[in-house]
Amino acid sequence: MTQDEAKMDQDPLIQRQFVENLNEEDEDEDGDLRKQVIDEVKKQIGLAGPLIAVSLLQYCLEVISIMFVGHLGQLPLSSASMATSFASFTGFSVLLGMGSALETLCGQAYGAKQYHMLGIQMQRAMITLTAVSIPLAIIWFYTTTIFIILGQDQEISTGAGTFIRWMIPSLFAYGLLQCLNRFLQTQNLVVPMMITSGVTALLHVFICWVLVFKLGLEIKGAALANTISNWINVVLLGVYVKLSPACKHTWTGFSKEAINDLLGFLKLAVPSAVMICFEYWSFDMVVLLSGLLPNPKLETSVLSISLNTCWMVYMISVGLGGAISTRVSNELGAARPEAARLAIYVVVIIAILEGVIVGSITILVRHVWGRLYSNEEEVIKYVAKMMPLLALSDFLDGFQCVLSGAARGCGWQNFCAIMNLGAYYIVGIPCALLFAFIIHVGGMGLWMGIICALCVQVVALIAINLSTNWSDEALKAVNRVQTSIAIE
């Protein structure tokens, strides 16, 4: 970038760029649509592939730790499992949601070529998420007391409290990691994220082995391994951002300007967190409700298997959602509304194909999938009955995930927070209670409630996308960038 270009890019009056890009896009509409679609598919797959790998590799850290704890006995395994669920419910999902606000802010700033604003926005997110982590850490510190008040087993509560206390430093690392991930993702720099996540996952296996078995820290060692690994990932990405030529325009060092509009960041981060948490919490709530059914041991086991299966498949959708969020925010920030709309059409087709393939595989393996988790025939047969419902929910969940990604790229978090509240807590959970406890469909009824919620989500997201004026959205994106620069 030349000095003149850089100066122009710093100019807050970028309305001219908006008009020029709209005119250029009008001329391009007569171009080869097939070529545009092929190019868009390549861009999205190039983004989604590494992002899927990042999601799976970062998810693997918890799984690996639980696997090591599982060799210590049933009590440590139960304690670590409960602690991990509680950590996700009260901490990680909140930070993940708040960090996703950067998909809008950084993505649109990058599209508008206001590159220096990415570093400023990331610093605002880091300050905010670190501050939010402090009260969350206090909640984690009293996990044992909270579990006992909720009527959980004393030994399991004590073990869970020990595990989660050793993970408290991981909470702060996780928040910083979300900021770094979004900062790089919105610049289409996803391969470095994949590499650092892969290195971290490999090191995590060794760290777990040393801490859990060699040093004899047992359950504490597994929790400490999570903390160390998350900080390793943060350090690796931080070094990349600092030293890589690819970030020289977007990261210009720490700046006091980052504290100028923390409230503005919160206005988008809070609904982002609400949007994510409403969805994630409802799935956990279904597993908790299964414990109230007539055969709680069987129902809870099968619902837990179903949830784990769903999360594993969901990582594919998370990658696609991250890709479309980046594409839409970049194109809107660059004042190319038709390109943003084309990107959504393309990702919808990809999501449908992915959903059909995954759904078909889910149905085909329904009679053997349960054997990966249990040797009990009753569990295996029940899982086989659940798998067609899982196939349908995976399809719908993948569809809504990519449309939610597009919504984050546009900055529709407020709408999505209200939509998720209605979908899951006005429709989904009541339907789950109706099917499970009144119609007596059992655990399958609980999952049918989730499917009802997903249907509402999909219909609402399709409706808002079809009714959107994309030129207006591009103007809003440009104005959002202008406002950020003016405050700076």
DSSP for 320-376, please give it: HHHHHHHHHHHHHHTT-HHHHHHHHHHHHHHHHHHHHHHHHHHHHTHHHHGGGT---
Mean pLDDT of 114-143: 94
In this model, does residue 22 exceed pLDDT 60?
A: no
Q: How confident is the model at residue 2 (pLDDT cuts 50, 70, 90)?
A: very low
Q: What's residue 349's pLDDT? A: 93
In this model, does residue 18 exceed pLDDT 90?
A: no
Q: Which two tokens stand for residue 358?
A: 């995954």
Q: How far apart are CA 228 and CA 239, in angstroms?
A: 16
Contact 173, 231 (CB under 8 A): yes
Nearest-5° Cα angle at 432, 428 to 433: 120
Q: What's residue 297's pLDDT? A: 74
- The alpha carbon of residue 228 and the mean position of all alpha carbons in its chain are separated, in whole angstroms, by 21
Q: How confident is the model at residue 313 (pLDDT cuts 50, 70, 90)?
A: confident
Q: How confident is the model at residue 33 (pLDDT cuts 50, 70, 90)?
A: confident
Residue indicated by tokens 């909270």: 146
Q: What sections of 112-217 are H helices per DSSP? A: 116-141, 143-149, 154-165, 168-185, 191-209
Q: How far apart are CA 428 and CA 397, in angstroms?
A: 13
Q: Which two tokens stand for residue 290?
A: 């299964």
Greater model confidence, 257 or 128: 128
How many residues in total does the chain contain? 488
Contact 125, 299 (CB under 8 A): no
Q: Which of 5-9, 378-382, 451-455 has the highest mean pLDDT?
A: 451-455
Q: What's residue 204's pLDDT? A: 95
Mean pLDDT of 199-207: 95
In this model, does residue 7 exceed pLDDT 70?
A: no
Q: How confident is the model at residue 25 (pLDDT cuts 50, 70, 90)?
A: low
Contact 306, 283 (CB under 8 A): no
Of 368-372, 420-424, 461-465, which gets the smallest average pLDDT?
368-372
Q: How confident is the model at residue 28 (pLDDT cuts 50, 70, 90)?
A: low
Q: What's residue 306's pLDDT? A: 82
In this model, does residue 383 exceed pLDDT 90?
A: no
Q: What's residue 10's pLDDT? A: 42
Backbone φ, ψ for residue 484 (5° rounding): -60, -40
Mean pLDDT of 253-272: 88
Of 210-214, 258-262, 322-326, which gets the smallest average pLDDT?
258-262
Of 27-31, 201-205, 304-308, 374-378, which gets the smallest average pLDDT?
27-31
Residue indicated by tokens 């529709």: 412
Q: What's residue 308's pLDDT? A: 78
Cα distances (Å, whole numbers) of residue 24 to 17, 34, 36, 328, 351: 10, 19, 15, 18, 30
CA 32, 38, 42, 45 torsion-angle sign? positive
Q: What is the pLDDT of residues 96-124, one digit of tens each?
A: 999 999 999 999 999 999 999 999 999 99
Q: What's residue 6's pLDDT? A: 39
In this model, does residue 187 exceed pLDDT 70?
A: yes
Q: What is the pLDDT of residues 75-87, one digit of tens each?
A: 887 788 788 888 9
Mean pLDDT of 381-388: 90
Mean pLDDT of 373-395: 87
Q: How far apart are CA 440 and CA 461, in angstroms?
A: 31
Residue indicated by tokens 């939509």: 419
Portion of the chain with pLDDT greater than 70, in percent: 93
Residues 6+ apart with CB under 8 A from 478: 14, 15, 17, 18, 112, 333, 335
Q: What is the pLDDT of residues 53-76, one digit of tens each?
A: 999 898 888 888 888 887 888 788
Radius of gyration of the chain (CA): 23
Of 224-228, 305-309, 402-406, which gets the smallest average pLDDT?
305-309
Q: What's residue 419's pLDDT? A: 94
Mean pLDDT of 178-198: 95
pTM of the full predicted structure?
0.86
Q: What is the pLDDT of residues 412-458, one digit of tens each?
A: 999 999 999 999 999 999 999 999 899 988 888 999 999 999 999 99
Nearest-5° Cα angle at 30, 29 to 35: 80
Q: What's residue 12's pLDDT? A: 42
